[in-house]
Chains A and B, each alone.
Chain A
Amino acid sequence: MEILSMENVGFTYPNSNDEVLKNINFTINKGDFIVLCGTSGSGKSTLLRLIKHDLAPHGDLQGDIYYKGMRLEDHSPIKRAKEIGMVFQDPENQIVMDTVMNELLFGLENMGYSTPEMNKKIAEMTQFFGLNGLLKKKTDELSGGEKQLVNLVSVLLLDPDIILLDEPTSQLDPIAAKEFIYTLERLNDEFGITVLIVEHRLEDLFAVAEYVMVMDEGRVSYIDMPEEVVKKLINHPTLSRFLPSTSRIFLNFSESNGTKQIPITVKEAQGWLENQVIHPSKNREKHRGENKKILELKEIDFQYVKHEPPVLHNLSLNICKGEWHAILGANGTGKSTLLKIIAGVLKPQHGSIKYDGKKMKKNYHKTVSYLPQNPALYFVQDTLMKEYKMIARHFQIENANEKISQLLNQFQIYDLKDRHPHDLSGGQLQKAALIGTLLTQPAILLIDEPTKGLDPESKSRLAEVLRMLIKDGLTIVMVTHDVEFAASYSSTSSLLFQGQITTTEDTRKFFKENRYYTTTVNRITRKSNAPSVITIEEANEKWHVQENY
């Protein structure tokens, strides 16, 4: 049964001549699970918001959107609010009440339900999702995954027929993201709720989705089953990066002539690999930093509040010159705290930090720079140029103007130098902040979760920039839970667990020895006949595949 359809839909924002959406036609049936993907700026979010009629952007809309056989605008607003639910990207900003209970009540009160009705609905929902323990908690104390679950449940309480989700997992850590997607799968399986989800992170979604809809420059280029979409996109210059690595590794090593089943899940990919004969090719080792220690942390203890358990305890870590050091660990293990200690913002209660073999000095801020997770928080001034000049003045940098221009050109954002930081896109903003951190010519750059919310395309561009900096002699310490990113680009990896660094190893070795906390490619290859690898790039280097005919 058809639930939602678009006929010849086009959309233009006011004061603009570019059509954001062009001639869009599709039909969604009740109970479908549809993933909508595409590069940034392809019009995905606009499309989603047009379906949530009451949040539709202002502009010129052509064509018709039908919901349950009637035009969207002909349904009553209350019916639309109840039946078409929407969950947004940022788990934090869509919460409007101080406790979980009040947050869940908010929508129900809007709909005018009586107290007994509300009690019943909430009791039922909390049982189903196991939220009992959270009801009385402050929303601010929840983890990112819990917050997003509360957002989902507060939409579900209104009993929707279709849920629209706008990159709901992009701000979550991989484990929370997986759990969230399984929750969606369960809702779809057990209640037949139609799901339309926009997402960049597709590793897990391709295995769950029934259909994948691909958007490119304002048009829907494909709507098809996941395997078919994989075949069509594999040679696409940018969108091929969005595909799950299970399929990518397969397509890299076997001719896709349409007869073979393309693996989507890890299990399927393992099955394919069993039938391959793979010889190791000559081993090329990655460039690793010199073995000269630039930073030594010794027996660091840190706690925020006196009577609470310490965040970091007896932590020791060595950073070598010229390496790209990834520090991995789950949420709440103290990764960001560690970065702040290295940056000199927090003072450890115990332990020592040595820079270049000597104790930290006062001009430490010049040698260590810090790129925050949310680059918008980096800017105090209202244009990029003013910000750079302020930094230059503060650190008394010579030839500041030259350096600023040179960096702006190098990062290709010279044209944006007089813009307000808030008017830049996520990727531009990150580059802009990066320039600010590089002005002082630091020896060490600290980066906090640089890939949060970036699409695969922007991620690889960021990696290129950072690689270039490493080549110029910079040392990078990066905190992340993006396993794939760390595996692909960092040279050394450490695991932070319970306030201590438990392992520090060469990145490839580090991931090969892990079983769960590792990349998809490694999970496919680690117990196979083929030499185990952690990324497709490594497989390209090390494998020589002999096809079985």
Chain B
Amino acid sequence: MVRGIQSFHPFVLLVYYVLIIIGLMLYQHPLFLLGALFLIGTFNYILDKGRELKKWSFMIGMMITFIILLTPIFNRRGDQILFHFFEQPIMLEAVIQGIMIASTLAGILAIFVTFNIVLTPDKLLYLFSKVLPQWALLTMLSMRFVPLLIRKVKEMMSIQQVKGLSFNQGSVHKRAKNGMQIMQMLLTNALEDSIQAADSMSARGYGLQKRSNYNAFKMKSKDWLTLGSLMGSSIILLFGWAKGYGVLQLGPVLETIMLSGSEYIYFMTWLFLIGFPILTEGKEVIHWKYYQWKM
């Protein structure tokens, strides 16, 4: 039985991700961003102990370093000079901006890591099939052929290797040519076989009438409830953003990073929005502990 965040309707999950990504781009404030990063990291840890995130960490790290180093060099706005680098003034504003851009980027990439775990291909295709059924069907067909073709390619490669064709030795030119020979074989072979697949589709009545669409997922009451609270909190946040909360003023005068007054309300709402999967997963854990304790 799937529990926690993965048990929600795919549509609710998609709304969550869209809101978070928009939020990460709009909220250009160090505290908002760092809070978000912390929660997204936690979310990753809860899902798979951060295993997937680790695979991406090198790329994310590279990009962050790149941005944090380059932004201050090219950006000369602001008036608080920190130091000089090759006779170029490095501004505090630019450094802060670099950090914010880097956090936005890291946040978006890290939330995509959870996206790929939570919104599995079948859920994405389900959503897809509601809007664009023909595209979804085409994608599903293609997804079926991928493992089949990979198996065929590998089989062809080993047959040709006995015949002396090499794919990992020799000049680049030679290897690329041999590889492409295999792709050409694959094309001819797959085209021949595709007729059988098409026949088997026609044999089962494809194209005779409008297709219906299997509903693998149902909106449950908890999905509606969640959708409601997600939308509610994002309306609050949008209102706050429009009034200038959650965006750090860099000029003409650098604003203080500390939050004040009603900004706290928006900050908490923002954390609630991002942290909603953590809350549901946490609830599950407590639930189980309680259940086992009662046994």
Contact = CB atoms under 8 A, between A and B. Distances in A.
A and B touch in the complex (CB under 8 A): yes
Interface of A: 52, 54-55, 77-78, 81-82, 85-86, 88, 90, 92-99, 102, 105-115, 118, 138-140, 151, 154-155, 158, 340, 343-346, 365, 368-370, 372, 374, 376-380, 391, 394-395, 422, 436
Contact of A97 (B144, B202, B205): B144
Nearest to A114: B212
B48 interface: no
Given A81-B208, A140-B147, A158-B205, A94 B162 contact: no
Interface in B78-135: 122
Kindly list the 7 A-B residue pairs having the minimum CB-CB distance in the complex, ordered from nearest.
A81-B205, A94-B200, A107-B204, A93-B196, A140-B147, A370-B162, A110-B205
Contact of A377 (B143, B144, B156, B211): B156
Contact of B185 (A158, A343, A380): A380
Nearest to A140: B147
Contact of B211 (A112, A139, A345): A112
A372 B85 CA distance: 65
Interface string B135-172: 00000110110011001100110111111110000000
A377 B152 contact: yes
A115 B193 contact: no
Contacts of B231: none
Contacts of B122: 99
A154 B210 contact: no
Contacts of A52: 203
Contact of B208 (A77, A155, A377, A422): A77
B188 A54 contact: no
Contacts of B199: 55, 88, 94
A52 B140 CA distance: 26
B197 interface: yes
A154 B204 contact: yes
Contacts of B159: 370, 372, 377-378
B196 to A, nearest CB: 4
Given A55-B199, A377-B189, A380-B181, A343 B155 contact: no
27 contacts: A55-B199, A78-B208, A86-B203, A92-B148, A94-B196, A94-B200, A96-B200, A96-B201, A97-B140, A98-B147, A106-B204, A107-B204, A108-B212, A109-B211, A109-B212, A110-B204, A110-B205, A110-B206, A110-B211, A111-B205, A138-B147, A140-B144, A365-B163, A372-B159, A374-B155, A376-B189, A376-B192
Contact of A115 (B206, B210, B214): B214
Given A96-B141, A99-B122, A380-B160, A155 B209 contact: no
Given A55-B203, A111-B209, 14 more contacts: A77-B205, A96-B197, A98-B140, A107-B204, A115-B212, A138-B147, A139-B144, A344-B162, A345-B162, A377-B155, A377-B156, A380-B185, A394-B163, A394-B164
A421 to B, nearest CB: 9
Contact of A88 (B141, B185, B196): B196
Contacts of A105: 214
Contacts of B188: 422
A360 B2 CA distance: 53
Contact of B212 (A81, A92, A112, A346): A112
Contacts of A94: 196-197, 199-200
A166 to B, nearest CB: 10
A118 B204 contact: no
Given A52-B203, A94-B197, A139-B144, A345 B208 contact: no
A54 B200 contact: no
B221 interface: no
B262 interface: no
Contacts of A154: 204
Interface residues of B, number: 46
B292 interface: no
Contacts of A395: 164
Given A90-B196, A345-B158, A379 B185 contact: yes
Contacts of B210: 112
B24 to A, nearest CB: 32
Contacts of B214: 105, 108-109, 115, 118
B190 to A, nearest CB: 10
A111 B148 CA distance: 27
Nearest to B215: A115
B256 interface: no
Contacts of A436: 163
A167 to B, nearest CB: 12
A118 B203 CA distance: 19
A422 B193 CA distance: 11
Contacts of B158: 340, 343, 345-346
Nearest to B201: A96
A112 B211 CA distance: 5
B260 interface: no
Given A140-B148, A379-B185, A394-B164, A110 B208 contact: yes
B174 to A, nearest CB: 12
B204 A155 contact: yes
B192 A391 contact: no
A95 B193 CA distance: 11
A109 B196 contact: no
Contacts of B212: 108-109, 111-115
Nearest to B213: A109
A379 B186 CA distance: 11
B143 to A, nearest CB: 5
Nearest to B209: A112
Contacts of A394: 163-164
A81 B204 contact: yes
A54 B156 CA distance: 34
B90 to A, nearest CB: 48
Nearest to B129: A109
Contacts of A85: 203
A463 B87 CA distance: 85
A54 B207 CA distance: 11
Contacts of B156: 377
Contacts of A340: 158
A447 to B, nearest CB: 12
Nearest to B195: A93
A107 B197 CA distance: 13
B28 to A, nearest CB: 41
B193 A93 contact: yes
Nearest to B133: A109
A105 B133 CA distance: 14
Nearest to B198: A96
Contacts of B204: 81, 106-107, 110, 154-155, 158
A93 B199 CA distance: 10
B144 A95 contact: yes
B148 A102 contact: no
Contacts of A369: 162
Contacts of A88: 196, 199-200, 203
Nearest to B151: A140
Contact of A345 (B161, B192, B196): B161
Contacts of A377: 152, 155-156, 159, 185, 189
Residue of A107, A138, A158, A368 with highest tally of chain B CB at under 10 A: A107
A545 B143 CA distance: 61
A121 to B, nearest CB: 11
